Structure 1
């Protein structure tokens, strides 16, 4: 039983208002003690990590399928792109089959984007970095051809709206993901996969900053992005371990962009 509030408020009321103040203070203190005795455990219970991983996995590939059908018909190229993303994510075996089935469900006319995003929000709402990773993977699928079509952009806006992310921020994420792809290196050769090497302008877009940014601003943006894409942190928040490869690659791309900026600015 809590009585601390009654004592403190009662004494304070007595000093300031005499007997009437004492009564009023005890009443206020009682309300305070009652609030402290509430059981807040239901609000502090964290979502089941394993459930969050399952929801993240299903949502990622079903929404990817929905995005592929944005233009009306899923082309052979879009299917190949989805399979390539699965390979890039390091998904194989049973998990690959699950990803394909989720992708097919996303292509269905009966697929509910809003319901899928709501379930993802309920399971991952406490992990903004996980939500951003989900959106970046969708943008990665949409930009596989080098640009995003108007119907695909509409869906990306809807995804952003579900998580209260402004359109401007979605557009900036698209720029960042496209720029990051310029810093992607082939695992076998170690060379950049883009036909031309990344530019300093793209390096700034990777970090989401202007070329006029100060040294402190550059470091702040770099540290924030590295924290958002840290593989171990993402796994602990609900990202399936089978998909952690993409987070590792993004961390490497961010590091490469940061190194280029440091060299250009002479840090």
Structure 2
């Protein structure tokens, strides 16, 4: 039974602390209260390390997206549509997971906890896993531009997460952002290299990215299974970028 099943079954004895724990408790506490009334003798199960990482990622993603949506003081219909589209098209969440995501999103919207509070707790969990940190920035960027553009308030908030995650290189942020902008450098951005790099350097970047972002390896680090399709799409984008660069450069 994964973390989602334990939430639905009301069998989690220990989940999260801190700001994300507050969101989790407010969003799902009623599940455990109801179950306790029905079966006070139920033995609660602890989350495994992987499950705790998965729960942290899931709660953090939709909590941070909620704060991103309201960064200009209001949540527009277009922003809600962007979040809904991300759930349905990028993640393809099943009804159970989608309801959980919506519950977290709404709870975070109404919470006084800040975006920075969420990003700091996320960093404390994944500080030694840069792939997971970059995936979170990737998610924020993808949703921010899904309505056609990213406004200055959204960019400032995402940049604050970049700095919290110690991904503060302006070059790296531009590479991450350019993945969603139609430029000649997009393929290089996906590999984490520059157009002026040598063929050998481009090959090294490609091999590193393939190793880091293989969906199975990411899942083993705590990516929720609900985000597996997102990781698979990311992996395919890296492969496609390599083929594009390889053809353009005549690399064998």
Could you say whether these structures have the same fold, taking a TM-score greater than 0.5 normalized by the shorter chain as the test?
yes
Paired residue for 1:82? 83
Distance 2:192 2:219 in 1: 24
Matches within 5 A, 1:64-75: 64-75=65-76
Distance 1:212 1:231 in 2: 29
Matches within 5 A, 1:246-265: 246-265=230-249
After the TM superposition, which of the residue ranges 129-138 and 109-118 deviates more from structure 2? 109-118
CA deviations 1:111-148 (Å, max 9, x no partner) are 32232223212222232211111111111111113332
Matches within 5 A, 1:37-186: 48-87=49-88, 88-108=90-110, 110-166=112-168, 168=170, 169-176=172-179, 178-179=180-181
Distance 2:130 2:185 in 1: 27
Paired residue for 1:34? none
Would the alpha carbon gap of residues 122 and 208 (structure 1) be closer, same or farther in structure 2, given more than 3 Å must change?
Answer: closer
Alignment root-mean-square deviation, CA: 1.9
* TM-score between the two structures when normalised by the length of structure 1: 0.70
Distance 1:224 1:143 in 2: 27
| Structure number with larger C-alpha Rg | 1
Distance 1:242 1:89 in 2: 6
Contact 2:67 2:114 in 1 (8 A): no
Would the alpha carbon gap of residues 201 and 135 (structure 1) be closer, same or farther in structure 2, given more than 3 Å must change?
Answer: closer
Higher relative contact order (CA 8 A, sep 6+): 2
Distance 2:213 2:188 in 1: 17
CA deviations 1:232-258 (Å, max 9, x no partner) are 111111110111101100111111111
Contact 1:206 1:257 in 2 (8 A): yes
Offset of residue 200 of structure 1: 4.8
